[in-house]
């Protein structure tokens, strides 16, 4: 799955448009919660296709954005009938469209007809709603969101047709509760349940709720569709699991002879979508596998959860059917850290499965830190396998498998693999599906045989957001590159050596026996382009960028800030190769022993040092800090092995200011001839004390001055620039610049 957390990277309350709502008559979009917008509107909102937006009419709702058909007026928003109703709109009325951040749902509760609640299981319900965005009070249909990337619907449609019949296509549900509050999207591990009660709450009484929460007997897992050789990047783990199962189930006497028990409990951890359950199903293809869906069972009342586990354990341990394996996927939804009393009884049943002769227990989790610690007891899951994110070579192998039977032309999979850091197999599958949508649309329009091209896949890269970064904000990069950054030679060289070289030439570092730099500190006066050059680095597309301001990680509650630091680096490891950008790092890591915040910053500094060079290796992750007060940073952070490269970002000189003005003036119609011509070289020499941000602001103010002179002005004159200089004054502080130069000389 991919793109399950729709939303812009940095939604701004100022980025909103008022459009005219029209009914979308397309049967393809019917009741699927999609709003179609003109490409120019999508660009103006600074979002991408399949991001989420908030719609404000008579009430507030959310929807995912698709591109409107050709010929749709710019100011028109096409909404299906359900979305119109959710927004409290009539046709041809105004709707306010705003980018919005949507978070993955921990739980969603819904109400529906008696037929639906009695017939549709929680797993099928979750699959039908996968990828949809919603708020409390919204009406949603069971029609899967199969229009964009990350949604596979065939299984859900078949299950719905089998359970409800043809009426499932017209069934409407009401969202009665979501966690967290606000707009959410349904995830593969979301707890989706019927009724108004929250998951893990007391059992709901009443005839409908009783039928809705009936526990279904565990089903044998289907035959896997993935061959062992296609488990790219997981062969070692699959081999270990195969060996353990062979010894525990087929040759237990060998272990007993050596004084060991044949009990087997395995916890398989790894990022979402990496293929944990797929690996288990492949390894157990020739064995009897009983599977429980953790989020589905976790959404039931306590007694029903226990009953489901009891039935599954009984099915696994049945001696007349031979050896059996119990698989519980996403077990953190069933046995979370904050356990209920029923968790003890569930664990007792799982111990029976582990202890039973000829039985084994396997659990998967994408967030093992959120698991009940008792699950890792020696008599339960005494062994653990970890699946990591695929590297570039593995991603290319996975793409080859996914595209094995796809008609294609002139594909460069090396380029695609290099530009997909943090992608798991589910993300790559979504990438291929999005590329296929583009190829199919082109073939339908031209009448040519469908063929997937390199342009289809590269275009899909702008749409797909990998699962490893779906819950985090991303740095807005635009189209700027390092080549577009004027001057800043030392800064660009340091970033290239510390970040890009280890990705482009890892064999050289290995051959020379050196570790690449782990961190870089950029320091300089405000407005000199520290953040800008990082944005240019991110645009290379070769690494994931996790950007955070130092103060955002600070929390008054004991342990919260340290946890935020650990979570930040965990996400970075999960999406490696990655860059952790800490803006205003002096607020996060000040000198220890000098604060009056009850030791919060001291503990944060310690957590940061532990992450940088602690026991857990920080592989393929580079930390980049930016500050204008390097003297306030704890010295322990600046030693080799941590933020070892210190780069002073000098204020721009005349040549650099000229380059900055030329880059910023590309879109500004400056007069080039005559007495009113604007000479950027001469102007740059006269701008002593101006930072890069000041130079850009100067041209922006000059354009506004031209508009004040005449709203129909077609160009910006020398006089406009002179007037703008009176409004935009230099911001560089000579004393601060000199202090930074002294710091640079001493380090």
CA distance 63 to 138: 11
**Average pLDDT for 516-535:** 80
pTM of the model: 0.62
> What pLDDT was estimated at residue 329?
92
Q: Regarding beta strands 172-179 and 107-111, do their DSSP bridges make them parallel or antiparallel, or are they unpaired?
A: antiparallel
Nearest-angstrom CA–CA distance, 361 and 241: 12
Please write down the HEC assignment for all residues of 697-723.
HHHHHHHHHHHHHCCCCCCECHHHHHH
pLDDT band at 214 (very low <50, low <70, confident <90, very high): very low
Residue 46 CA neighbour count, 13 Å, CB half: 19
Positive or negative torsion for Cα 267, 273, 279, 284? positive
Q: What pLDDT is stored for residue 542 in this prediction?
A: 67
Q: How high is the mean pLDDT of the chain?
A: 79
Terminal-residue alpha carbon distance, the chain: 47
Q: Is the pLDDT of residue 5 over 50?
A: no
Tell me the per-residue pLDDT of 89-110, one tens digit each, with 9 for 90 and over.
888 888 999 888 888 788 889 9
% of the chain at pLDDT higher than 90: 10
- When pLDDT is averaged across residues 41-66 and rounded to a whole number, the result is 85
At 212, the pLDDT band (50, 70, 90 cuts) reads very low
Residue 211 has pLDDT above 60, yes or no: no
What's residue 7's pLDDT?
39
Q: Is the pLDDT of residue 11 over 50?
A: no
Mean pLDDT of 267-286: 90
- Report the range of poorest mean pLDDT among 215-229, 458-472, 663-677: 215-229
Task: Read off the pLDDT of each residue in 538-543 and give the average, rounded to a whole number.
Answer: 65
- Which stretch of 79-93, 286-300, 561-575, 644-658 has the lowest confidence by average pLDDT? 561-575
CB-neighbour burial class of residue 51 (10 A; exposed 0-12, middle 13-18, buried 19+): buried
pLDDT of residue 480: 55
pLDDT of residue 145: 56
pLDDT at residue number 653: 82
pLDDT digits (tens, 9 = 90+) for 145-202: 554 444 444 555 566 656 555 556 678 889 998 888 888 888 777 788 887 433 333 2
- Give pLDDT tens digits for 361-399: 999 998 888 899 999 998 899 899 988 888 878 888 999
- Name the residue among 231, 225, 296, 227 with its Cα closest to residue 268: 231
Residue 162: the pLDDT is: 60
């Amino acid at each position: 799955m991919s793109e399950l957390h729709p939303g812009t990277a940095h939604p701004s309350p100022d980025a909103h448009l008022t459009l005219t709502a029209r009914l979308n008559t397309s049967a393809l979009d019917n009741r699927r919660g999609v709003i179609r917008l003109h490409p120019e509107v999508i660009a103006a909102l600074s979002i991408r296709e399949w991001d989420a937006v908030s719609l404000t009419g008579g009430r507030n709702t959310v929807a995912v954005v698709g591109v409107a058909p050709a010929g749709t007026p710019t100011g028109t928003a096409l909404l299906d009938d359900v979305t119109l109703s959710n927004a409290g709109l009539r046709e041809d009325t105004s709707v306010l469209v705003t980018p919005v951040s949507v978070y993955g749902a921990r739980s969603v509760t819904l109400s529906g007809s008696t037929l639906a609640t009695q017939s549709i299981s929680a797993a099928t319900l979750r699959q039908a709603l996968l990828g949809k965005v919603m708020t409390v009070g919204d009406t949603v249909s069971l029609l899967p969101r199969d229009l964009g990337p990350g949604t596979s619907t065939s299984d859900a449609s078949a299950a719905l047709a089998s359970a409800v019949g043809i009426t499932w296509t017209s069934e409407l549900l009401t969202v009665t509760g979501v966690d967290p509050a606000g707009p959410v999207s349904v995830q593969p591990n979301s707890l989706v349940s019927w009724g108004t009660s929250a998951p893990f709450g007391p059992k709901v009484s009443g005839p409908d709720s009783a039928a809705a929460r009936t526990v279904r007997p565990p089903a044998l897992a289907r035959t896997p569709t993935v061959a062992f050789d296609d488990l790219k990047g997981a062969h070692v783990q699959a081999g270990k699991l195969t060996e353990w199962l062979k010894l525990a189930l087929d040759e237990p006497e060998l272990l007993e002879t050596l004084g060991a028990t044949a009990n087997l409990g395995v916890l398989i951890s790894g990022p979402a979508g990496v293929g944990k359950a797929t690996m288990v199903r492949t390894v157990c293809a020739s064995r009897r596998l009983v599977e429980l869906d953790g989020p589905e069972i976790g959404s039931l009342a306590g007694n029903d959860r226990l009953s489901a586990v009891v039935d599954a354990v009984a099915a696994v341990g049945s001696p007349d059917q031979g050896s059996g394996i119990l698989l519980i996927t996403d077990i953190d939804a069933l046995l979370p850290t904050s356990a209920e009393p029923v968790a003890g009884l569930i664990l007792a049943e799982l111990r029976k499965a582990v202890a039973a002769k000829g039985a084994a227990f396997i659990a998967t989790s994408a967030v093992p830190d959120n698991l009940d610690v008792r699950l890792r007891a020696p008599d339960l899951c005494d062994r653990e396998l970890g699946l990591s994110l695929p590297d570039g070579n593995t991603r290319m192998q996975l793409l080859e498998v996914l595209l094995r039977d796809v008609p294609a032309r002139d594909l460069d999979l090396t380029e695609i693999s290099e530009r997909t850091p943090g992608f798991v197999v589910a993300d790559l599958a979504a990438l291929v599906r999005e590329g296929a949508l583009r190829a199919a649309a082109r073939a339908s329009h031209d009448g040519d045989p469908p063929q997937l091209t390199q342009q289809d896949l590269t275009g899909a890269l702008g749409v797909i957001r990998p699962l490893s970064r779906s819950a985090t904000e991303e740095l807005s990069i635009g189209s700027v590159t390092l080549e577009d950054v004027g001057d800043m030679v030392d800064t660009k060289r340091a970033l290239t050596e510390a970040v890009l070289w280890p990705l482009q030439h890892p064999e050289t570092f290995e051959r020379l026996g050196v570790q690449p730099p782990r961190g870089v500190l950029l320091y300089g006066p405000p407005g000199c382009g520290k953040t800008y050059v990082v944005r240019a680095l991110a645009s290379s597309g070769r690494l994931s960028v996790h950007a955070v301001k130092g103060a955002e990680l600070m929390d008054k509650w004991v342990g919260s800030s340290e946890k935020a630091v650990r979570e930040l680096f965990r996400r970075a490891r999960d999406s490696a190769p990655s860059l952790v950008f800490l803006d205003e790092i002096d607020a996060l890591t000040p000198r220890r022993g000098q604060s009056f915040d009850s030791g919060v910053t001291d503990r944060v500094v310690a957590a940061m040092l532990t992450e940088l060079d602690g026991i857990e290796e920080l592989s393929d992750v580079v930390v980049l800090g930016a500050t204008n007060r390097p003297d306030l940073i704890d010295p322990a952070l600046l030693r080799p092995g941590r933020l070892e490269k210190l780069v002073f970002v000098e204020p721009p000189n005349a040549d650099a200011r000229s380059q900055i003005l030329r880059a910023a003036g590309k879109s500004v119609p400056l007069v080039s001839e005559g007495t009113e011509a604007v000479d950027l070289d001469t102007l740059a020499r006269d701008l002593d004390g101006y930072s890069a941000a000041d130079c850009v602001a100067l041209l922006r103010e000059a354009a506004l001055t031209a508009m004040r002179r005449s709203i129909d002005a077609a160009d910006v004159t020398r006089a406009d620039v002179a007037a703008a200089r009176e409004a935009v004054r230099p911001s560089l502080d000579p004393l601060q610049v000199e202090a930074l130069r002294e710091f640079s000389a001493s380090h």
